[in-house]
Amino acid sequence: MRLALVVSVLLLLISIFAMLVTTVIIRLVRTKTEARSAVQEAKLRGLLVRFLSEDLSLFELQELKRIDSSQFDEISEAMLSKVKGRAKDILVSFLYSRGAIDKAIERTRKLGCLGRCKAAAFLGNVGIPEAREPLESMLRDRRQDVRTLAIRCLGQLGSPESVPALLSAVDDHRRPVPFGAVLVALMRIGSQGKGSVKAGLEFGGTRCRAVTAEILGMEGSTEDTTVLISLLENDPSLEVKLRSARALGRIGSPKAIRPLSECLESHKPTALRIVTCGALAAIGDRDTVQEIITLLNDEDYQVARAAAKAASQMGPAGIEQLNLIAASNSRGAAFAKEALARLAAKAPSAS
């Protein structure tokens, strides 16, 4: 019995010792492998940088083409986001020759979510026309994070041909995408896609029309005033009306004053009246100051506060009226004082 116990203890000690030795060996091997990998990475990176600088000899160029290493492919792909101009063109051609771009397109259809995301980011950085269709197909991916990344990458590509796909994606309720991500992508595509954006008003749903109104406001072109006024007056969606009102304020056309003023009426939704106050303040027409000031006595305190803030942004005429209201005993006096205090607090930083 005692002998068996001693043997068991010895075997346990030997096992522990073996585990310790194995752990030490594994760590040494790992350290040595990592050091060798770091040296190799530095060598490959230096070779690639010299290649992009067109500073390689013929022998080194041949050596570069013979390299068959996944590590080298990863270094090349990571460098895409750090180079521009001719260097990027050279790198993209090099990746073409190695088949890296074709492999990335294949990975967009693989099962692994992380692999699809990496492939999308790579194609977005490459910025070639062939990347558009694979990225657009990813807008229907089952994972929202993949769909969101695909939207950002399409924005990087900046192709106007992607606009219909982006507008369809923003209206897809079964597989939703972030409204802001689509908006940023369309902004990056810019004025080249404006025709397709406006065409979305004919076939798009609520979110499509909302993003269209937002984009037209950011473009800031007075030629879009008529379209936005039509959305403000006729669209059944409150969200579209709100974004149209804000867009008209950004554009600042006097043609928008009358339809915006009609949105201040008491039977209109509170949110629309609040946004309209800001839009009229942005346009800054002197004739609307009195109309805004009247709203300080509105029964809806949110509208009254928004009107006071708008008046404070309408120059000396608005401030003069606020001072008169503040000195009175009317319901709007408190809101006028609040707006004037806020204005006074900003004055030192403004000066």
Amino acid at 204: G
Compute the Cα dihedral for 17, 20, 26, 27 and give only its sign: negative
Domains in the chain, ordered, with CATH? 254-346 (1.25.10.10)
Give the per-residue pLDDT at 15: 83
- The pTM assigned to this predicted structure is 0.77
Within 8 A by CB and 6+ apart from 211, the residues are 167, 170, 179, 182, 183, 186, 200
- Mean pLDDT, consecutive 10-residue segments, the chain of 351 residues? 76 83 84 71 75 74 72 77 82 83 88 88 89 94 94 93 93 91 92 87 87 90 92 95 96 94 95 97 91 94 96 93 92 92 75 40
Q: String of b and e for 78-94 (b: at least 16 CB within 10 Å)? A: ebbeebeeebbeebbeb
Give the per-residue pLDDT at 10: 82
